[in-house]
Structure 1
Amino acid sequence: MSVSPSPLADRLVDQYGRTPIAAAAGLTLLVAGITATSTPAAAGLEPGTRLRHPR
């Protein structure tokens, strides 16, 4: 059993193995990057802006 800051990650790696979890993490990052680049600038989510809670 490996030691990581996330017990969930430890459990997933122990159950499925390191390679499938690394591949899933890479795919998640790829999808997040594609989603971020396809978001229109008019949405107001430009880099460096903070999301504010509506009052």
Structure 2
Amino acid sequence: MEGHACDARRRCAEAVSRSSVSKQYAEADASARRGIRTAARRGRAAPPHRAARG
């Protein structure tokens, strides 16, 4: 029972993170194509997924 609840919770967290992360990816990709860094414009640190993505 405990494992089932944990699995369901993990699946829910994955779905939530995937939706929000995909938005970030689309935003970062669009800004990169335009040559504009939305992260820098907003005063935030550059997204760390760039190095991992390549």
Q: Give me the TM-score of the superposition, normalised by structure 1.
A: 0.46
Higher helix share: 2
Q: Give me the TM-score of the superposition, normalised by structure 2.
A: 0.47
